[in-house]
A and B are shown apart, each in its own frame.
Chain A
Amino acid sequence: MRKAIAGLILIAAGILLGLMLLHPKAAAPAGPVLRARLNADIASSDPGMKRDANTDAVLLHVVEGLVALREDGSVGPMLASGWTVSPDGRTYRFALRHGIRFHNGAPLTSADVKWSLDRYLAPGSRWRCKPDLSTSGIAAVTGVATPDPFTVAITLDRPAPLFLATLARLDCGGTGIAHRDSVGPDGKWRYPIGTGPFRWGEWRHNQYIDLVRYDGYQPLPGGTDGNGGGKHALVDRIRFSIIPDGSAASAALLRGSLDVLDALAPNELGTVQGAAGIKFDSAMSSDFYCILLQTRAGPLRDVRLRRALALSLDVAALTRVVTHGTGIPDSSPIPAVNAFYGPAQRALVTRDLPAARALVRASGYHGEPIELLTSHSPPEFYDAAILVQAMARDAGINIQIVNLDWATQLARYSSGDYQATMFGFSARMDPSLMYNVLIGDRATDPRKVWNAPEAIDLFHRSEATGDRAGRQKIFDLLEQRFRADVPAIVLYNTRRVTALRQSVTGYRAWQAQSQRLWNVRVGAAR
Chain B
Amino acid sequence: MIAYILRRLLLAIPTLFIVALMVFFLVRMIPGDPAQVMLGEGADPAAIAALHAELGLDKPIYVQFAAWLGHVFSGDLGTSITTGEPVSTLLITRAETTGVVVLISVGLATLIAIAAGTVAAWRRGSKLDLAVMSGASLILAVPSFWLGLLLLLVFGVWLRWLPVVGYIPFSEDPTGALLFLILPIVTLTISESGVLIRMMRSSAIDVLRLDYVTHARAKGLSERTVLARHVFPNAFAPTLTLVGLTLGRLFGGIAVIETVFTLPGLGRLMVTGVLSRDYPVVQGCLLFTAVIYVVVNLVVDLLYPLFDPRVTVE
Interface residues of A (CB under 8 A from B): 1, 4, 16, 19-20, 22-28, 40-41, 43-44, 50-52, 124, 126, 128, 130-131, 171, 204-208, 241-245, 247-249, 251-252, 254-255, 257-258, 404-408, 410-414, 425, 437, 445, 447
Q: Does B275 contact A (CB under 8 A)?
A: yes
Name A255's contact: one of B149, B157, B272 (CB within 8 Å): B157
Neighbouring B residues of A24 by C-beta, 8 Å = 161-163, 176, 179
In contact, A243 and B165 (Cβ under 8 angstroms): yes
User: Does B69 sit at the interface, judged by CB under 8 A?
Assistant: no
Interface residues on B, range: 35 or more
Given A27-B166, A248-B152: A126 in contact with B47 (beta carbons within 8 A): yes
B161 to A19, Cβ gap below 8 A?
yes
Cβ-defined contact, A206 with B268, below 8 A: yes
The reply to whether B31 and A408 contact each other, CB–CB distance below 8 Å, is yes
Would you call B44 and A131 a contact (CB within 8 A)?
yes
Q: What are the residues of chain B within 8 A of A404 when measuring CB–CB? A: 31
Query: Do residues A207 and B30 form an inter-chain contact, with CB atoms below 8 A?
Result: no
- Asked whether, in the complex, the Cβ of B260 is within 8 Å of the Cβ of A26, the reply is no
Given contacts A241-B262, A242-B262, A407-B276, A20 and B161 within 8 Å (CB-CB): yes
Question: Which of B39, B82, B83 is within 8 Å of A126, CB to CB?
Answer: B39
Given A251-B149, A257-B164, 15 other A-B contacts at CB below 8 A? A19-B179, A27-B166, A130-B44, A131-B44, A205-B85, A206-B269, A207-B262, A244-B259, A248-B164, A248-B260, A248-B261, A252-B164, A255-B164, A405-B32, A411-B33
Q: Is B12 an interface residue (CB 8 A)?
A: no
A126-B50 contact, Cβ under 8 Å, with A24-B163, A248-B260: yes
**Complex-state Cα separation, A407 to B273, whole angstroms:** 11
Enumerate chain A residues within 8 angstroms of B152, measured Cβ to Cβ: 248, 251
Point out the residues of chain B lying under 8 angstroms from A52, CB to CB. Answer: 40
Q: Confirm or deny: B174 has a beta carbon within 8 angstroms of a beta carbon on chain A.
A: no
Q: Is B167 an interface residue (CB 8 A)?
A: yes
Instruction: Give bound CA distance, A26 to B165, whole Å.
Output: 7
The reply to whether B180 and A255 form a contact with Cβ atoms under 8 Å apart is no
B108-136 interface mask toward A, CB cutoff 8 Å, 1 = contact, 0 = none? 00000001000100000000000000000
Select which of B51, B168, B260, B272 is within 8 A of A27 by beta carbon. B168
Q: In chain B, residues 242-270, which have Cβ atoms closer than 8 Å to a Cβ of chain A?
A: 259-262, 264, 268-269
| Contact across chains for A206 and B272 when beta carbons are under 8 A apart | yes
Task: Tell me if B309 is interfacial: C-beta within 8 Å of chain A.
Answer: no
Min CB distance B165 to A, Å, is 4
Once A205-B85, A241-B166 are accepted as A-B contacts, the answer to whether A1 and B119 lie under 8 Å apart by CB is yes
B40→A51 contact, CB < 8 A: yes
B217 within 8 A of A: no
Which residues on A sit within 8 Å (CB–CB) of B229?
Answer: none
Q: How far is the CA of A44 from the CA of B168 in the complex (A)?
A: 23
Q: How far is the CB of A57 from chain B (nearest CB, A)?
A: 14
> Closest approach, in angstroms, between the C-beta of B269 and any C-beta of chain A?
8
For residue B159, which residue of chain A has the nearest CB?
A: A20
Inter-subunit contact A414/B33 (CB<8 Å): yes
**In the complex the two chains form, what is the Cα distance from A519 to B90 in whole Å?**
36
Which A residue's beta carbon lies closest to that of B223? A1
Q: How far is the CB of B261 from chain A (nearest CB, A)?
A: 7
* Complex interface: chain A residues within 8 A of B45 (CB): 445
Q: Kindly provide the distance from the CB of B125 to the nearest chain A CB, expressed in whole angstroms.
A: 18
Chain A residue numbers with a CB within 8 Å of B259 are 244-245, 248
Residue B42 interfacial (CB < 8 Å): yes
Is B37's CB within 8 Å of the partner chain A? yes
Q: Which residues of A contact B40 (CB under 8 A)?
A: 51-52, 128, 171
- Nearest-neighbour CB distance to chain A for B111, whole angstroms, equals 9
The answer to whether residues A406 and B157 also contact, given A19-B162, A207-B264, A258-B165 and a CB cut-off of 8 A, is no
Which A residues lie within 8 Å of B84 (CB)? 44
Q: Which among B30, B260, B264 is the interface contact of A206 at CB below 8 angstroms?
A: B264
